[in-house]
Chain A
Amino acid sequence: MGMNLKIYAPEDFPSYLPKLNALYDDLFSHGKGFRAKLIQKISSHLKLKENQVHLLAQTIEFIHNASLLHDDLVDRSPLRREKTAAWLKYTPEYAVLAGDYLLARVMVNLSRYGNLQLIQYTAEMISDLLEGEWIQDSLIEDWDVSLNQLDRVHNLKTASLFKWCMRAPFIIAENYDKKIHSLLAEMGSLLGLLFQRSDDLLDFDVRNYEGKAVLGDLQSGYMNSFATFLTKDMNEQQKFKFRECQSLADIYDFIGEVEFFVRLEEFDEHNRRVISLFEHLAEDLKAILPDESKNLIQELIVLPRILYWRKV
């Protein structure tokens, strides 16, 4: 997906701060950089300059990785991308400061560039991201949370970054058309939702092509979107038994393996409708985009399927 874009270079940070560059080397070296690639894809249709694309790509990856540094400490997760998490490998204090420093660099870079709308929107996005994190943290050990409630959290936490990826290239290109931005925001919301739901399915070893550890959310006391969907018709005693499950085999024993896959199909059908909704919005966007940018739609239309089904 797109050309190789180097988001992070040691020269971006002062060399006199001990362990900072080592921490960032670890952090940036194993990420997929999906959001940066999305920026590149969209930017290519808006004829942005290389420095603009680099600024946007670096901004989103800095913000995303800052949130990961803080997330891992808040959740006390020992691993990140199959390596020791920064707070554990270095210190919790360094993890917090490293995250803060990335956000500070974002503000420095954007203010140097000078697009006030972009600065304002980025600040709002970071605010939404933190709001989502805050509320999600308040739902730990809440076993009766509904899918709609989780979607509200994910719209703030996950979708805000995707919305930014959709809108920021247009902002930096100084296209401030309200209808375009409204549609891009809605589409970004849906992408974020699908990405999160697909990620939540990994916790149940569904389409887990990367072999990630399973049931991590459940064992941390968090009912993710698929867990919520699976248990929505269960009573209190059944939910208690569900959350006591230690392995996928326990879950299959409890729910029934056939029933599990029936519910999975229902969940997938629910999300196919979301994908159809995205495609509808993409058509609306195509109708109002300038002619030279209409090919963007062909790039965007495949995204929800890639994000949800995890296959190209």
Chain B
Amino acid sequence: MSEFVTLDRSHPDFNNFLLGTPSGEDRIAVPVQSYHVNQLSERVTFRFVEAQNIRRPAIYKVITNLFRLDLLPLVMVPALNMMAMAISTPGFESKPWAAGLIILALAAINSAVYCGNDFIDHMKGVDRLSDKSGSRVIQNGWLRANTVQKLFWSMIFFSVCFAIPIFILNPFLILLSALTMLLGVLGYTFLKWRKLGWLLSDIAIWSCMGPLLVVGVVWGLGVQVTTGIIWVGAFYGLMAVTYFELRHLVSSMADHEAKIMTLPVRFGFDRAKNLLALGMLFSGLIFSVVVTMTWPDLRSLFGLPLALRMIWIGAQTYKIKSPLSSTLYVLQRKIIRTYIWVGLFMVLSYVANYFY
């Protein structure tokens, strides 16, 4: 029996092969070559591998990769920031169970988003064009695509279950969550729009991972929304947009081939890169404003190194020479680490506020 099979999109079994459930086969079909991705003339060559021959790592590593736990800071840091702020607010009625459920709900929805993204990008072919795109869990044969799809729905279910007690406490959160989910889905769909798709997608990301996220957390804890909170949300949203657009720089060749209208595809590599550099510069400035507003004294100077780090990342982004440059991956990791350092700084500052 042949090790390979090539199918085009019109083949009745094409989708089954992509899902990892080829008819009449016990072996796993791993896609090895894809041509004319995301077009009607798409052709994919699959290599059959016996399940026991797949070199699968430990399950925790598969889950860590699939759920993109390395990107959890993008959601958790703003949430923990708001929790620390809430605790330090005079008269705040502490509800640890609410905080715990919010964290679990956010972790579940974060996992669901990346599972869903992996599944969709695999079926469309975007993740098959580059070995740096997605979690690689499906492409490496560690899990079948239909398993990832099932995990997506499971995580959605868990996030709803964790969120229900919070919704009962504050029913307005249902509307906010629905709006955030809708924007999240639209953010993906907008990328197909030729002209302003990239902008609408970025606004969606900024909203979902910025103001809407922080407002949702504070409402869930029963705290009033202030201007300062909105500024914090704006800052985190801008950092998130910059991070995701940096990823779009990495995937710009594949996106161009798959006709996904991201910022780099729409405006070109150089302009997109310069805009991102500006984005990081503004992140540093907004962070300085946030810190100064929160601690209008010498303590705000402690935030200066972090602001300078963001500006430095912007400068490194400006110097990038190629969409294939390895520096792009280094900068992605640096942005995530900056998130963590910012979160740590903000939490410690609020704790210090509470005690002093």
Closest beta carbon of chain A to B273's beta carbon, Å: 12
A149 within 8 A of B: yes
**A276 B35 Cβ-Cβ under 8 A:** no
- A185 and B45 CA atoms in complex are apart in Å by 13
B16 within 8 A of A: no
Known: A139-B325, A280-B45. A152 touches B35 (CB 8 A): no
Q: Mark A171-187, 1 if CB is under 8 A from B, else 0.
A: 00000001000100110
A206 within 8 A of B: no
B6 proximity list for chain A (CB < 8 A): 280-281, 284
The residue in B322, B327, B329 that gathers the most chain A C-beta atoms within 10 A of its C-beta is B322
Closest beta carbon of chain B to A257's beta carbon, Å: 27
**B326 A145 Cβ-Cβ under 8 A:** yes
For B323, give the chain A residue with the smallest CB separation.
A135
**B325 A138 Cβ-Cβ under 8 A:** yes
Known: A135-B324, A152-B253, A182-B41. A276 touches B3 (CB 8 A): yes
Contacts A138-B322, A277-B45, A281-B6 known; list 4 others, CB within 8 Å. Answer: A147-B131, A153-B324, A186-B43, A276-B3
A280 proximity list for chain B (CB < 8 A): 2-4, 6, 45
Closest beta carbon of chain B to A300's beta carbon, Å: 16
Known: A142-B326, A144-B326. A186 touches B35 (CB 8 A): yes
Of residues 175 through 190 on chain B, the ones whose CB sits less than 8 Å from some CB of chain A are: none
Closest beta carbon of chain A to B8's beta carbon, Å: 8
**A138 B321 Cβ-Cβ under 8 A:** yes
B36 proximity list for chain A (CB < 8 A): 182
- A139 and B323 CA atoms in complex are apart in Å by 9
For B6, give the chain A residue with the smallest CB separation.
A284
Known: A143-B326, A146-B132, A178-B41. A277 touches B33 (CB 8 A): yes
Of residues 119 through 163 on chain A, the ones whose CB sits less than 8 Å from some CB of chain B are: 135, 138-139, 142-149, 152-153
B131 proximity list for chain A (CB < 8 A): 146-148
- Name the contact of A185 in the complex, choosing from B3, B35, B322 (C-beta under 8 A): B35
- Which range holds the interface residue count of chain A? 20 to 34
B154 within 8 A of A: no
Interface residues of A (CB under 8 A from B): 135, 138-139, 142-149, 152-153, 178, 182, 185-186, 273, 276-277, 280-281, 283-284
- Name the contact of A276 in the complex, choosing from B4, B41, B322 (C-beta under 8 A): B4
Closest beta carbon of chain B to A53's beta carbon, Å: 28
**A138 B324 Cβ-Cβ under 8 A:** yes
B2 proximity list for chain A (CB < 8 A): 280, 283
B170 within 8 A of A: no
- Name the contact of B43 in the complex, choosing from A144, A146, A182 (C-beta under 8 A): A182
Known: A146-B131, A182-B41, A284-B6. A135 touches B32 (CB 8 A): no
The residue in A135, A142, A144, A280 that gathers the most chain B C-beta atoms within 10 A of its C-beta is A280
A277 proximity list for chain B (CB < 8 A): 4, 32-33, 45, 47
Of residues 15 through 68 on chain B, the ones whose CB sits less than 8 Å from some CB of chain A are: 32-33, 35-36, 41, 43, 45, 47
For B320, give the chain A residue with the smallest CB separation.
A138
- A147 and B6 CA atoms in complex are apart in Å by 24
B43 proximity list for chain A (CB < 8 A): 182, 186
B3 proximity list for chain A (CB < 8 A): 276, 280
B330 proximity list for chain A (CB < 8 A): 144
- Name the contact of B45 in the complex, choosing from A135, A147, A178, A281 (C-beta under 8 A): A281
For B45, give the chain A residue with the smallest CB separation.
A277
Known: A186-B43, A281-B45. A146 touches B326 (CB 8 A): yes
A147 proximity list for chain B (CB < 8 A): 131
Of residues 75 through 132 on chain B, the ones whose CB sits less than 8 Å from some CB of chain A are: 130-132
- A265 and B130 CA atoms in complex are apart in Å by 24
- A147 and B321 CA atoms in complex are apart in Å by 18
**A142 B325 Cβ-Cβ under 8 A:** yes
For B130, give the chain A residue with the smallest CB separation.
A148
A-B contact list, 18 entries, CB within 8 Å? A139-B322, A139-B325, A142-B322, A144-B326, A144-B327, A144-B329, A144-B330, A145-B325, A146-B131, A146-B326, A148-B130, A149-B132, A152-B324, A182-B35, A182-B36, A185-B35, A276-B3, A280-B3
**B324 A149 Cβ-Cβ under 8 A:** yes
For B36, give the chain A residue with the smallest CB separation.
A182
For A178, give the chain B residue with the smallest CB separation.
B41
B47 proximity list for chain A (CB < 8 A): 273, 277
B41 proximity list for chain A (CB < 8 A): 178, 182
B329 proximity list for chain A (CB < 8 A): 144
A281 proximity list for chain B (CB < 8 A): 6, 45
Q: Mark B305-334, 1 if CB is under 8 A from A, else 0.
A: 000000000000000011111110110000
- A280 and B32 CA atoms in complex are apart in Å by 12
For B43, give the chain A residue with the smallest CB separation.
A182
Closest beta carbon of chain B to A188's beta carbon, Å: 11
B324 proximity list for chain A (CB < 8 A): 135, 138-139, 142, 145, 149, 152-153
- A153 and B253 CA atoms in complex are apart in Å by 11
Closest beta carbon of chain B to A47's beta carbon, Å: 28
Closest beta carbon of chain B to A182's beta carbon, Å: 6
- A149 and B6 CA atoms in complex are apart in Å by 24
B35 proximity list for chain A (CB < 8 A): 182, 185-186
Closest beta carbon of chain A to B227's beta carbon, Å: 43
**A148 B33 Cβ-Cβ under 8 A:** no
For B35, give the chain A residue with the smallest CB separation.
A186
B130 proximity list for chain A (CB < 8 A): 148, 152
